[in-house]
Amino acid sequence: MSMNSVGRPTTPQADTATGGFASLTGAKGLVQDEALIFEMGGWNKTGVDLPDASIHADDLGDLVRTAPIGLPGLSEPETMRHYVRLSQKNHAIDLALYPLGSCTMKHNPRLNEKMARLAGFADIHPLQPQSTVPGALELMDRLAHWLKTLTGMPAVALTPKAGAHGELCGILSIKAAHEAKGDTARKVVLVPTSAHGTNPATAAFVGYSVREIAQTEDGRVDLADLEAKLGPDVAAIMVTNPNTCGLFERDIVEIARLTHAAGAYFYCDGANFNAIVGRVRPGDLGVDAMHINLHKTFSTPHGGGGPGAGPVVLSEALAAYAPTPWLVHGPDGLTLQEDAIGEAAGAFGRMSAFHGQMGMYVRAYAYMRSHGSDGLRQVAEDAVLNANYVKARLSDLMTPAFPEGPCMHEALFDDAWLEGTGVTTLDFAKAMIDEGFHPMTMYFPLVVHGAMLIEPTETESKQELDRFIGALRALAEAAKAGDADRFKGAPHLAPMRRLDETLAARKPRLRWKPEAPASLAAE
C-alpha cells in the first residue's frame, strides 16, 4: 500500500456523485491523479546532468556515499507536472474563501510580496555587520512604532517567531518581573476554558501550573470565578480578546483591575487582534503583554511566504524585562542592544539566535503603510461586518452557539441543528469540499458541542460571501431533508476520498520505503 493511500481509497469507486463513472486513471475531470514522487518514473534518468567531482573525497572518511543517493529519476516535464498536480489538490486563499476560524486566512496583497523581494531586504544575512543594513533596521524601528501606536503599549519585542513563541516571550517577561521583585511564590497561571491550547501549554512549559477559569452562558469569562481564584499564588492570567468564541470580553477592564489588585499580570492572546485593530488599544484596557501575529492581522496567511512572526507588546511594568536584542537610537543611528547590560540588565535573555523574520516585517509594514490608520480601522470593521453577515444569513438553518447579540470576527455554530439527521459536524465539513470550499474549524472551541467556527475575514466581498453562504445553506437543507448518504461518503469529488482516521492514526506511514521484491517461487 502506498503512503498516500493509508486509510483511504485513492481512485474513485463507482458512486452516485460521479454518475456511477469511475475514471480508469483516477483523474477527476482536469484534476489528475498523482502518486508519490518516489513511486514515479525510473531511477536511472534525471532532468539535470552533473559533471563528475574533480576533487577526491578521501578526507570525508566514512561519510562517502557507497550506494545510490536514492532520489527518483524524473525528467523536467515530469517534475513540473508532479508539483502542478499536487498544487491542484490544495485549497488556497487565492482560489476561494478560506473559512478557518481563529486562523485569519486572508488575502496577502501582492504589493507586500514585491516589497519583501527587494534586494535590500531579501538578500541580507543575519551575520553581516549592522552598519551595512541601516534600511532594514529603520524598517524594523518604524514597524515597532506602528505596533506600539496601534496597541497603546510603550515597548515591543520583535524577535518571537509566531503566536506560541510570543506567548512564551510574554510569560517569561512576567516571570522575570516577579523574580525581580522577589515574588517567587506565584506559581499559577489562570486560563479560560475556551482559550487556545497554546496558552496552558506555554504556561506549563515555563513551569507554572494552570488553573481554569469558568465561562458564562454567554461565552465570556466568569468574573466571579476569576475573582475567587485570584490570590497571592497567581502570576498571571491569559485571556484572548476577542475570545475564541468570537466574542468581545465586555468585562475586560474589570478583569484587568482584579488581576492587578491581586498582584498578577494580564497576558492577552492577540491572535484575534484582526477584529479590533485601529478601534481598540489593548494598553487602554489594562493589558500588560500581548503577542501580535503579523502573519494574521497584517496579512500573509499561515504558510504563505515562509515563517510567521509574533512580536510582543509590553506595558511599562514589563518593558525592562523584554528579551534582547532590541533597537536603540544612538549617536550613530540605530543599533541592536545585544547584551543584558545597562538599560537591558533586566532582560530575561534571548528568544532566538537572530532578531526575527525580515520578510514578515516587510510584509506587515507594507500592509500598514498601504492601508493607513483609517484603512486599518476599516479592516476591523469589515471583518466584524462579514462575520455577522454570515451569522445572520445562516441562523435560520444552523444554530448559533451564542445567539444573543453580535459576534466579532468569527461566527460560531454548534451541532444542535443536526440532531436527528444522522449527519455530524465532520460529515458536514467533508461535504463542503465537494462544494469547492475548505471546511471551517471543527470541534473548536471545545466548550461548544460539535463546534463550527467560521471566520470570513475582511478581504471577502459580499458576492463571495453569498456564494459561500449559498453552498452551506444547500448542504444544511440536504441534511435536514434526510439525505445522510450524501454526507457519509463525502467528499465524493476530491482526488482523495475520506480518510479512515482510526487506521491512519494507529498505523501511520511517515516515511516512504521501497517495496520489497516479491519472493520467488521455490526452485
* Cβ-based neighbours of 22, under 8 Å, separated by 6 or more: 11, 12, 13, 14
List the grid coordinates of 162: 509566531
Q: Which residue has the cell 516515511?
A: 511
Handedness of CA 501, 504, 505, 511 (dihedral sign): negative
How many angstroms separate the CA atoms of 476 and 491, rounded?
16
Residue 344 has pLDDT above 60, yes or no: yes
Cis previous bond, 154, omega within 30: no
Q: pLDDT for 231-257, tens place per residue? A: 999 999 999 999 999 999 999 999 999
Residue 14 has pLDDT above 70, yes or no: no
How many angstroms separate the CA atoms of 322 and 158, rounded?
10
Residue 1 has pLDDT above 50, yes or no: no
Give the closest residue to 202 by CA, choosing from 228, 164, 229: 164
pLDDT, position 171 = 98
Q: Where are the domains of the chain?
A: 12-51+69-89, 111-367, 373-506
Torsion of CA 479, 483, 489, 495, to 10 degrees: -80
**Stretch among 43-52, 209-218, 409-418 having the lowest mean pLDDT:** 43-52
**Stretch among 27-36, 155-164, 497-506 having the lowest mean pLDDT:** 27-36
The pTM of the full predicted model, rounded to 2 decimals, is 0.89
336 forms beta bridges with: 327
Q: In the chain, pLDDT over 70 holds for what percent of residues?
A: 92
pLDDT, position 3 = 47
Q: pLDDT for 356-398, tens place per residue? A: 789 999 999 999 999 999 999 999 999 999 999 999 999 999 9
Q: pLDDT for 457-480, tens place per residue? A: 999 999 999 999 999 999 999 999
> In the chain, what is the straight-line distance between the N-terminal and C-terminal CA atoms, in Å?
28
**183-205 as b/e, with b when 16 or more CB fall inside 10 Å?**
eeebebbbbbebbbebbbebbee
* pLDDT classification of 74: cutoffs 50, 70, 90: confident
Give the closest residue to 291 by CA, choosing from 331, 241, 337: 241
Q: pLDDT for 83-95, tens place per residue? A: 999 988 888 888 9
Q: Could you tell me if 418 and 449 are in contact, meaning their C-beta atoms sit under 8 angstroms apart?
A: no
Torsion of CA 489, 435, 91, 424, to 10 degrees: -50
The two beta strands, 234-240 and 411-413, are unpaired
Average pLDDT of 496-519? 81
**Stretch among 56-70, 252-266, 329-343, 390-404 having the lowest mean pLDDT:** 56-70
How many angstroms separate the CA atoms of 58 and 270, rounded?
55
Q: What angle do CA 129, 135, 139 make, to 5 degrees?
A: 120
Residue 522 has pLDDT above 80, yes or no: no
Q: Which residue has the cell 514597524?
A: 143
Backbone angles phi, psi at 262, to 5 degrees: -90, 0
475 or 301: whose pLDDT is higher?
475
Q: Which CATH architecture has domain 373-506?
A: Alpha-Beta Complex (3.90)
Q: What angle do CA 494, 495, 496 make, to 5 degrees?
A: 90
List the grid coordinates of 194: 475556551
Taking residue 254's Cβ as centre, other Cβ atoms within 10 Å add up to 15
pLDDT, position 500 = 84
pLDDT, position 21 = 46
Q: Could you tell me if 32 and 54 are in contact, meaning their C-beta atoms sit under 8 angstroms apart?
A: no
CATH code reported for the domain at 111-367:
3.40.640.10
pLDDT, position 19 = 47
pLDDT, position 51 = 85
Q: Quick one: DSSP state of residue 94?
A: T
Backbone angles phi, psi at 67, to 5 degrees: -135, 165
Residue 48 has pLDDT above 50, yes or no: yes
Question: Which SS3 state, helix, strand or coil, does residue 232 take?
Answer: coil
Cis previous bond, 491, omega within 30: yes
Q: Quick one: DSSP state of residue 273?
A: G
Backbone angles phi, psi at 126, to 5 degrees: -65, -15
Region for residue 485 given its phi and psi (left: phi exceeds 0; alpha: psi -120 to 50; beta: otherwise): alpha
pLDDT, position 41 = 67
Most confident of 23-27, 54-58, 69-73, 243-247: 243-247
pLDDT, position 76 = 85
Average pLDDT of every residue of the chain: 89
**Radius of gyration (Cα) for the chain, nearest Å?**
26
Q: pLDDT for 310-335, tens place per residue? A: 999 999 999 999 999 989 998 888 99
How many angstroms separate the CA atoms of 155 and 150, rounded?
12
